[in-house]
Amino acid sequence: MPAPKRKYDCTKCPGYCCSYDWIEVTARDVARLARHFGVAEAVARERFTKLVDDGKRRVLRHKQDHVFKTTCMFFDQDERRCTIYAARPGVCREYPVTARCGYYDFLLWERDQQGDEEFIPGHP
């Protein structure tokens, strides 16, 4: 059976999901990042990730943003897109799991309310 048609369009979104504080990575994700950047896995682990939750979870590092508080360090904040799309972690491939994205539904509703096709909540 074909996958249900997506009811969201990431190209019209400021990348809310890339602003999640904890974007978790696995050992496989770190290995993929290491291959992508041509560095050792230990270097990729240190350079691109950090431990949170008392050392129980490994997540992507962040940087300051002008729409959200911070975003993943691999997010292009002007173009609002992933700069390592082919090498992105598994969790980024799976998100939002369903055919709908709750943030995108909210965004469309706000744009309709504001009468502004480009309205982005949180943008100055």
Q: Is 30 in the site for ligand SF4 (CB under 6 A)?
A: no
Contacts by residues 109-115 (CB-CB < 8 Å, ≥ 24 positions apart): none
Cα four-point dihedral sign 6, 12, 17, 18: positive
Report the alpha-carbon distance of residue 61 to residue 11 in Å, rounded: 23
Q: Is 37 in the site for ligand SF4 (CB under 6 A)?
A: no
Q: Is 104 in the site for ligand SF4 (CB under 6 A)?
A: yes
Q: Is 59 in the site for ligand SF4 (CB under 6 A)?
A: no
> What is the nearest approach in angstroms of ligand SF4 to the Cβ of residue 85?
7
Contact 22, 70 (CB under 8 A): no
> What is the nearest approach in angstroms of ligand SF4 to the Cβ of residue 8?
4
* 3-state class (DSSP) for residue 71: strand
Site string for ligand SF4, 60-99 (x = CB under 6 A): x-----------x-xx------x-x---xx--x--xx---
> What is the nearest approach in angstroms of ligand SF4 to the Cβ of residue 56?
20
Report the alpha-carbon distance of residue 40 to residue 85 in Å, rounded: 20
Burial (Cβ within 10 Å: 0-12, 13-18, ≥19) of residue 23: buried
Q: Is 18 in the site for ligand SF4 (CB under 6 A)?
A: yes
Binding region for ligand SF4 (CB under 6 A) = 8, 10, 13, 15-18, 23, 60, 72, 74-75, 82, 84, 88-89, 92, 95-96, 101, 103-104
